[in-house]
Amino acid sequence: MDIAIALLHGTVDLFVEFLSPISPYLIKTYSIQARTIAMLIASIMLMTALSQIFFAMVLPRIKRQWFLLYGIIAFVVLPTSLFSLKMNIVGLYLVFFLIFLANAAYHPFGTALANRNQSSKTVTSFVSGGIIGGALGPIFITWWVGAVGLNKIIFFNLFIFIILQPILLRVKRNFVPISKHPNFSWKSFPILIPIWIMVSLRTFFMSSLHTFSPIFSNLQGYSLLIGGSLLSLGLISGLLFNILGSRFRIRFNNWLVNVISFAGMGLFLNIFVHTNSLFFFILFYVLSDSFLFFSMSSNVIEAQKMLPGHPAFAASVSMGLAWATGYFLHLSYSSFFGNQVGFVLNSIGIFSLITAGCILIFSRYFGRVLKQL
């Protein structure tokens, strides 16, 4: 069952990673600006993050949740088949919005399945499956577009949907409906403000990095596959850095984890933008991406520690609300500077270094204030 859960999560996260890597291809095919594709990606991410709040409230009230889960999987896997038809940029937007929306609806089900027996092994399998699927997405789709063609993606979609059927039947036999969470109070929010700010900025920097790096790679003369490989390698390395960051937090503290995370990202991103060697181009991208992952789990754990009686609320603020804020910043910034790809990457690297400095300076002040709340 653990393998079935991991495979399902991996498949779902595989498809949402198709959009950013092929952005150079979409810019050329649809004759659109980099700013347009960046705003498209950011707006989809923003609305998807906000939809998670809606799904958290609505899904537990639905009785036949298994049938809904089956439909959600279909809406993740099958919509890109429409690329076999000729469509404009609006159609493209709607297809990917549907995929991202279905992905957001899936995760409450996946989390319930992963926690059905309170086994750390099952949770680890669930998380690992999603990371592996997400890492394979960019390198696969860029290879497919170059070697086979995006208009033939329907064959891959149907193949995946068919082989998922026995996995879905296995999951059905062990299906766990989503239950309602206890009520919580927004009066607890002020204590989480520092975490919310740090995660919001990390999300802004990371989403900008993932959106503009494939475009920047293409502008440097590298192939679509190289751009996809950047994202895949960054995610794989980020998994390791995420684990290291969680352990570092135990030995030291969450403030220092964030200082290292933002400082490392800012330093290596600015080197990445100015290097001419393919080896160092890939290396410094992977390092900049990895350092952003360094604080990912640490901030969620810290938020839940600060509100031990409300772990779900702490997670929703440190992930859902903060992610939505970060995507809004990404959308706003892209709307102004989206066509200046190199400038965007340089500037978020500088902003990241400034953020590290601010955390280092104000961490003691925040620590004293939080003790008084």
CATH code of the domain containing 27 = 1.20.1250.20
Alpha-carbon distance values, 35 to 14, 16, 27, 43 (Å): 25, 20, 10, 12
Among 111, 146, 180, give the residue marking a domain's end. 180
Total tally of structural domains belonging to the chain: 2
Statement: residue 264 has pLDDT above 90: yes
Same domain, 28 and 47: yes
Among 180, 202, 218, give the residue marking a domain's end. 180
Same domain, 204 and 262: yes
Least-confidence region, from 27-36, 164-173, 232-241, 263-272: 164-173
Who contacts 196 (Cβ-Cβ below 8 Å, separation ≥6)?
189, 317, 318, 321, 322, 325
Predicted local distance difference test score (pLDDT) of residue 373: 45
Same domain, 171 and 188: no
For the stretch 249-259, pLDDT in tens is 888 888 999 99
CB 273 within 8 A of CB 216: yes
Overall average pLDDT of the 25-54 stretch: 89
Same domain, 111 and 168: yes
Same domain, 87 and 112: yes
Bigger pLDDT: 7 or 332?
332
Same domain, 121 and 217: no
Predicted local distance difference test score (pLDDT) of residue 61: 78
* Host domain of residue 49: 1-180
Please choose, from the candidates 290, 260, 256, the residue with its C-alpha nearest in 3D space to the C-alpha of residue 353.
260
Among 150, 180, 210, give the residue marking a domain's end. 180
Same domain, 270 and 159: no
